[in-house]
Amino acid sequence: MSAAEVANKRAVVEKRGTKETAVVSTSSDTVPPPPPGHIQVKVGAAGIAFADCLQRCGLYPGSPPEPYTPGYDACGTVTALGEGVEGYTVGDRVAMLCVWGAASQHLNFPVGAPSKPHGSKSQPFGGASHIAKVPSSLKGSGDGEVVSLVLNYVTAYQMLHRVGNIPRSCTDSSERKTVLVHGAAGGVGTAVLELCKAAGARCIGTCSG
Ligand SMILES: NC(=O)c1ccc[n+]([C@@H]2O[C@H](COP(=O)([O-])OP(=O)(O)OC[C@H]3O[C@@H](n4cnc5c(N)ncnc54)[C@H](OP(=O)(O)O)[C@@H]3O)[C@@H](O)[C@H]2O)c1
């Protein structure tokens, strides 16, 4: 085993199906040293999103064939650098949008130009636009907290502020907006509620009894 090849455990969707019929297991293997243009990351936390359920059911376009490792996003620490990687050092804390493959103890993630086409059978999503260094202002937050920012909060932010045009600060009563959030108890819904609160918007949420 070379220096950067590491023993690994990961989740595997062996057979797609409903929560009753799908076969999901854990697998032990090794992760090879990062190829050129990749960093190796020790994953501290991986997100499981509604989109993972859709992938497991076979309802998510472009997802890989079985067997595959699920996990939409991850936060962890850089443990090795592939040839040609610039801008990262071992020990950096990073957060990544993986779309699948995050539910693994270690992974190699491309940090160069985005893979084209985005996500194929052999090449997961990745590239410089799908990874960010975790700012030092979040050093008090665990990897599980940080990973929620990647999919849920970025989606919520875009819906609220870019699509919905809700100002980031609308505490002035003349500008105060009211936002109706369906699915308010879910991952994205919870993020929308918190961003509304931060912006000073009035929020109404719906959820099941
Ligand atoms: N960039 C993107 O396009 C993007 C990114 C992220 C998520 N999404 C989408 O956003 C949605 C929410 O994702 P999420 O990760 O927040 O999911 P989640 O955590 O599973 O939450 C989904 C919420 O939807 C509610 N719900 C489920 N079935 C419902 C139904 N038939 N009628 C009304 N409400 C229902 C549930 O409410 P109760 O708890 O009250 O039962 C649940 O809390 C999903 O459709 C997901 O695919 C899109």
Give me the phi and psi of 80, to 5 degrees please: -160, 155
Q: What is the pLDDT of residues 81-130, one digit of tens each?
A: 999 999 999 999 999 999 999 999 999 999 987 665 444 444 557 889 89
Q: Do domains 6-134 and 143-205 have the same CATH topology?
A: no
Q: Identify the CATH homologous superfamily for domain 143-205.
A: NAD(P)-binding Rossmann-like Domain (3.40.50.720)
Residue 153 per-residue DSSP state: I
Q: What is the pLDDT of residues 41-50, one digit of tens each?
A: 999 999 989 9
Average pLDDT over every residue of 124-149: 92
pLDDT of residue 3: 57
Alpha helices for 34-142 (secondary structure H): 50-57
Domain ranges in the chain are 6-134, 143-205
Q: Whose CA is nearest to atom 25 of ligand 1?
A: 183
Average predicted confidence (pLDDT) for the chain = 91
Which ligand 1 atom sits closest to the C-alpha of 182? 34
Task: Find residue 41's DSSP bridge partners.
Answer: 78, 107
Do 43 and 14 touch, CB atoms closer than 8 A?
A: no
Q: Which of 72, 118, 155 to mutate to test the pocket of ligand 1 (most atoms within 8 A of CB)?
A: 155
Q: Which of 27-31, 78-82, 120-124, 183-187 has the lowest mean pLDDT?
A: 120-124
pLDDT of residue 8: 97
Average pLDDT over every residue of 33-43: 95
pLDDT band for position 156 (50/70/90)? very high
pLDDT of residue 4: 65
Q: Of 3.40.50.460, 3.40.50.1100, 3.90.180.10, 3.50.50.60, which CATH number belongs to 6-134?
A: 3.90.180.10
